[in-house]
Amino acid sequence: MIRRQREFELSSKDGEDETRKAGEAEEQISTATTTVVGYCGQRMGWSLSSAIDSEGRFDHSSVAVGLLCNAMAHFKNYPRSVRSRHCLLVRLGMQYVRQGRLEQALQAFLQALGPLRRARWTSLVSACLAPALRCAHALARPKEYVALVLELLNVEYGVREPARRVQLQRNLLALSSGAVPEPDEGADRAESDAALMAWQRLLLDSTTTFVPVAAGDINAGLTVTGGFCSPEGMAVVAAPTTFQLLLKSDLPEPFQLTKVSVQFMAGNDPTQSWTLDTPVEQRPLLQPNTPHLFEFHICPRPEHAGGEIHATSITLHIGQSTSKVYITLIWDVQSVSSVGFCVSNLGRKAAKLPVELPKRIKVLPKPPKLAVVCDDGFAVLIGEKYLYRVTVENLENAPISKLKLKVFESANSRCQHGIKFGYNIEQCDGAALSLELDSLMPNCKATSVFYITMEKTVDNVSMHMQVDPCLLFVITYEVTLNVENMDMSCNCTLDRTVSFSSIMPFVVESYMCTTMGQRVNELVVKEDVLLWMHVRGVSVPTLICSCTLHLCDKVHMNNPIDYQTFDNAVIDSDTSLSEICSVRPVGATTEPVSIAHATFCWKRWNETYSSEMISTSFSLCNVNIVSCPVIVSCVVPSFGVMYRPFVVKYTIENTTEKTVQLEATFESSERFMFSGMKKDLLKLTRLSKLEIILNVLPLIDGFSTLPRLQLLSSSEAVTSSLKQYSQRNVPLTILITPKDSTVSSSQDSKIALQDAES
């Protein structure tokens, strides 16, 4: 025994040095003075009874406190031994209670309760609550006393005895009414008297003692769940939404509340926070094991649009504001990240709402209430100024002001034509348009008109294209609404996309062909060709008033025409018009050129709002113009009769400024006999012509090939050019009728003569 006392003295001296390195809370606990057992030396038999008597009177708790403080200091070097450290802290608090050092005991219990709750160590929590409540009552600590009473009323690990539970609840109600709670059963008379005096001094103070309890940090006998009545998590400005709060009491008797408060915040700005309370006259009464539903109505303001609104805290008020003690139980819900929230600890199963509701909502801008009537899917002819009409009707329950309409091309539009807007038909050249409309009363309408035009010089490639551009209407206005006796000024925006068709008023197709009807992409200087122009209508009926053809400087017209075909002609998708003119190239080009531009003056058929004529220019076909030294033309009758001769006249023209020498040869044919030149050398001076006449006798009826003229030159390049270009206007075949045809010989001669003259 003496050896153990000696060892304890040495260890207690070392322990005092190590306890100085503990944390702030533990340092206050461990630095308390303790009574050390004195060294008695070697005991003899005669002093055995004296030693037993002295050790019987010795206070062993002081030794335990020293040993526990020494052990707590060692845990600073072993931070992973958390549970063992908490167990020692609970034992240290018990020893402090035995010594009557209630301040240190309460600090030890409160320091241990938090980690033990989080670690779900219910046995140690239950062991701490009763002595901690005794210390809080003896020291007259209302905040700690209320928190410990609520946790002792927990049905899971709190007090089981019904009488004791009723007494705890009545003590809580007595404290809220300004009375002194009854002392704990384990307290002695001196401790009870000291506690009574401390409570009386506290309650005799003229000021109200506010007792805020962080109920979310303890496992109280009350559970709270709640959320916004918006399963999709959305709310609209100026539209009330409901926040539902469900309370359930585990207390043995009905529990009277003064009011229930919920604090909300918009975004993360503390200045954008407000609190909603239950009516003062309602005074909720919580029945045991009965869920109570509370509803709070909030109305997002215009400045909340685009952000989020969430509940930050829930507060239960106990007692009157005029009482000496005013208790508030506060649940902080910001740390709860799940959908909905249940502010309870240690995994308690709280009463849930029928549907899990979000604890935060996103605020959307107020949707506009306007009816917009406008054309959609209409057709705008390129080049015209289309009158467009928009009608806006106010569907709000209040007047609207600052009504504006903006029109511009949508970003999704893939139109290659330039869309222009204008207030009137004279000025229609703006890329966007802004119209200010008058204020509108409910169910009233306002109409606005403007012009749309699409201008583009159409070439031969893009004139067949039809595109579908899009217009974007942005309508803004301001409306003042009275929601829950509060005026809200909301700015609303309505976007409306309108698509339409942008088409040409008509389609112009053109091509070049020889006098024989063969299409060509190359023209020869001084060779007559035909320009075909075909105009095809579209879905919109169009009136063509006139057409003007502008030839390029490399081409001349043989016989000018007035294009009466296109004068005051109405065309649509079922109508087409054609015109032919004879032209002659006068100069060669090095690259393809547009043969002409056709300018049409037109307007919509049955157009009532404007009589303005629209002029649109179309680029006709692109061709190459080449030169050939010699051009050959031929005059033949339209048909022949077997065994009756007819005349074929060839004209050879030198198109150059030089003398050309050629070798001319007529090929023989089994279907004809002819007299005249068969093979000869020709010499053509500059710009001269030479005629060759053949008398041809048909031998076989049907379509027969005429004798073919071949022209050869000493130059291979000239010969190749002659074969390709010189005889494109020379007929190759002729129809020969049988001899017993109904056509008389006098008619044959007349027809042949007419053909020769033509």
Where is average pLDDT lowest: 373-377, 611-615, 660-664? 611-615
Same domain, 256 and 326: yes
The CA distance from 495 to 472, in Å, is: 7
Residue 131 belongs to some domain of the structure:
yes
Same domain, 68 and 169: yes
Across the range 261-276, mean pLDDT stands at: 90
Q: Which residues contact 498 (CB under 8 A, 6 or more apart)?
A: 374, 375, 376, 470, 471, 472, 473
The enclosing domain of 81 has a CATH number of: 1.25.40
Residue 549 belongs to some domain of the structure:
yes
pLDDT at residue 362 tops 80: yes
Tokens of 113: 């309760």
Amino acid at position 463, single letter: M
Q: Give the number of other CB atoms < 10 A from CB of residue 617.
A: 15
Q: At what angle do helices 82-99 and 122-138 cross, to 10 degrees?
A: 30
The CA distance from 596 to 530, in Å, is: 13
Same domain, 514 and 435: no
Q: What is the mean pLDDT of the chain?
A: 80
Q: Give whichever of 278-287, 488-497, 601-610 has the largest mean pLDDT.
A: 488-497
Q: Determine the pLDDT at residue 415.
A: 59
Residue 15 belongs to some domain of the structure:
no
Query: Rounded to two decimals, what is the model's pTM?
Result: 0.63
Domain edge (last residue) among 570, 593, 626? 626
Across the range 718-733, mean pLDDT stands at: 88
Same domain, 179 and 255: no
pLDDT at residue 245 tops 70: yes
| Residue 137 contacts residue 184 (beta carbons within 8 Å) | yes
The CA distance from 162 to 754, in Å, is: 135
pLDDT at residue 14 tops 70: no
Q: Where are the alpha helices (DSSP H) in 153-306?
A: 162-176, 189-203
Q: Which residues contact 321 (CB under 8 A, 6 or more apart)?
A: 208, 258
Residue 1 belongs to some domain of the structure:
no
The enclosing domain of 440 has a CATH number of: 2.60.40.10
Which among 431, 430, 426, 433 is positioned nearest to 385, based on CA atoms? Answer: 426
Same domain, 106 and 188: yes
Binned at pLDDT 50, 70 and 90, residue 509 comes out as: very high
Across the range 88-94, mean pLDDT stands at: 84
pLDDT at residue 53 tops 70: no
Q: Which helix (H) or strand (E) holds 312?
A: strand 308-318
In the chain, what percentage of residues exceed pLDDT 90? 18
Residue 27 belongs to some domain of the structure:
no
| Residue 249 contacts residue 350 (beta carbons within 8 Å) | no
Same domain, 388 and 518: no
Residue 227 belongs to some domain of the structure:
yes
Render the burial of 274-298: b for 16+ CB within 10 Å, e for the rest.
eebebeeeeebebeeeebbebebeb
The CA distance from 522 to 511, in Å, is: 11
Same domain, 132 and 77: yes
pLDDT in tens, 120-135: 888 888 888 889 998 9
Domain edge (last residue) among 364, 398, 416? 364
Same domain, 637 and 618: no
Q: Which residues contact 564 (CB under 8 A, 6 or more apart)?
A: none
Across the range 71-82, mean pLDDT stands at: 70
Task: Calculate the alpha carbon distances from 307 to 237, 271, 321, 476 in Å.
Answer: 11, 14, 35, 21
Binned at pLDDT 50, 70 and 90, residue 55 comes out as: low
pLDDT at residue 725 tops 50: yes
Q: At what angle do helices 102-118 and 82-99 cross, to 10 degrees?
A: 150
Same domain, 390 and 435: yes
Half-sphere exposure for 152 (CA within 13 Å, toward CB): 27
Residue 678 belongs to some domain of the structure:
yes
Same domain, 243 and 322: yes
Residue range of the domain that includes 648: 630-737
Tokens of 371: 């009816």
The CA distance from 494 to 404, in Å, is: 10
Tokens of 360: 């935060």
The CA distance from 520 to 514, in Å, is: 7
Domain edge (last residue) among 304, 334, 364? 364
Task: Calculate the alpha carbon distances from 215 to 218, 254, 593 in Å.
Answer: 5, 19, 91
Q: Which residue has the higher pLDDT, 558 or 747?
A: 558
Same domain, 521 and 662: no
Tokens of 207: 């000021």
Q: Determine the pLDDT at residue 201.
A: 86
Q: Which helix (H) or strand (E) holds 446?
A: strand 445-455
pLDDT in tens, 394-420: 999 999 999 999 998 887 766 556 788
Which among 317, 297, 440 is positioned nearest to 368, based on CA atoms? Answer: 440
Tokens of 603: 């307007």
Q: Determine the pLDDT at residue 367.
A: 92
Q: Determine the pLDDT at residue 260.
A: 93
Q: At what angle do helices 189-203 and 122-138 cross, to 10 degrees?
A: 70
Where are the strands (E) in 215-258, listed by range?
Answer: 222-228, 234-236, 241-249, 255-256
Same domain, 676 and 711: yes
**Total number of domains constituting the chain:** 5
Q: Which residues contact 103 (CB under 8 A, 6 or more apart)?
A: 135, 139
The CA distance from 444 to 725, in Å, is: 75
Across the range 330-356, mean pLDDT stands at: 47
Residue 561 belongs to some domain of the structure:
yes
| Residue 377 contacts residue 501 (beta carbons within 8 Å) | yes
| Residue 737 contacts residue 642 (beta carbons within 8 Å) | yes
The CA distance from 571 to 384, in Å, is: 17
Tokens of 733: 């075949």
pLDDT at residue 457 tops 80: no
pLDDT in tens, 530-587: 999 999 988 889 999 888 888 999 999 887 766 677 888 889 888 889 888 899 999 8
Q: Determine the pLDDT at residue 443.
A: 92
